[in-house]
Structure 1
Amino acid sequence: MHAMQYAFTLPADYSMDVVRERVARTGHLLDEWTGLGLKAYLMRERGVRGSAVNEYAPFYLWNTVEGMNSFLWEGGFQRPADDFGRPSVRQWTGLAYEEGGAAGSPARAAVRSRRPVPDGVPLAGVAADAVRENGRLAALDGTVLTAAVVDTSRWELVHFTLLAHDDAAAGAEGDVFEVLHVSAPGRDRLPRGRQW
């Protein structure tokens, strides 16, 4: 499993309804993308759920590197890059994936929590802790799914969780997003549990 996210930070006075309408119009285009586990079309609105910015920031879980590369190099990514400018694309290696108790429900909110992997600690312990935390998040009321991923170029650990209702995000540590749409052609093929 591979994870990917890019973000477009938009002006403070930008109408986020433009983003909502865009996703309503084009979100289905990845509903059958080969190699894609899922894409969560995410946004944050300035002043809502503690966000200081307007941001469109889709998050991807890929089953195959080929699917991800096809998206980046053969057209899927070109459309948002043309419309908003080409952003930096973050990529992470998967550590763990779990479906939650609300797996059959539509996702309404998402939480992305990030933390550095400290220097001088055994990496096996960090990875084991991330897998345990992923299991804890999956067991919380309202969890649709959750993934733990790591960027080894920055030594940053990320937990990404989709939630069935906004209340489930209350008090969550991390950035809270509104989910506009989920394309999940290969969600059932995302490998469960730890990824090694």
Structure 2
Amino acid sequence: MKKISLKKLIVSMFMMVSIFTAGAVGITQNVNTADAENISSDYIWKSARNIKTYIDPNLTTAQKKAAKIATSQWHDAVPGLSFTNTDDESSANIVYSSNPAPSNKSGNTHISLIKYSDDSNWYLSKATVETNLTDPSEYSQSMQRTYNHETGHALGLNDTYDKSEKELTVMYGVKDGTTVNVSLPQKQDIETLNNMYGF
């Protein structure tokens, strides 16, 4: 079983053990752009070729556009990942929520993990993306970067805080107001996901 580094966890993270169907045991934890470095293991979707997404109708037109583009850009970068939109939030794997992220973060992704009785690995079972944008009604590169970055978390990628990688990955975690120009998935992101999913 993959372990979570409890030593690094901060107050915004919590853990809750719950029982899922078919004898599967799940664990739910909060992960956001500031805290993802605290997750010591990479988790993936068991079925990456049919990831269902739900876009909250209460999001602005600009946010809906950014969410759709995010899944399209990740699919273009890693063709093994396939996304289908659903109007049923309960059946979605990734939910683009209208609930705001914490005020000190531009984005936040909550993930749920599940372990199946016939498999020793833990898998993603739900990811909820929240944003807290300066102007959610105005589509911008900054908005798109936030949605691409958070979708990266929803796919199992962690943040990096190595400034030498700032221009090499969309998963660079901005904690100090650093300007980041990378908004698209980069070669490093693509290689990491291909390795994680075995594409």
TM-score (norm. length: structure 2)? 0.28
More strand by share: 1
The two structures have a TM-score, normalised by structure 1, of: 0.28
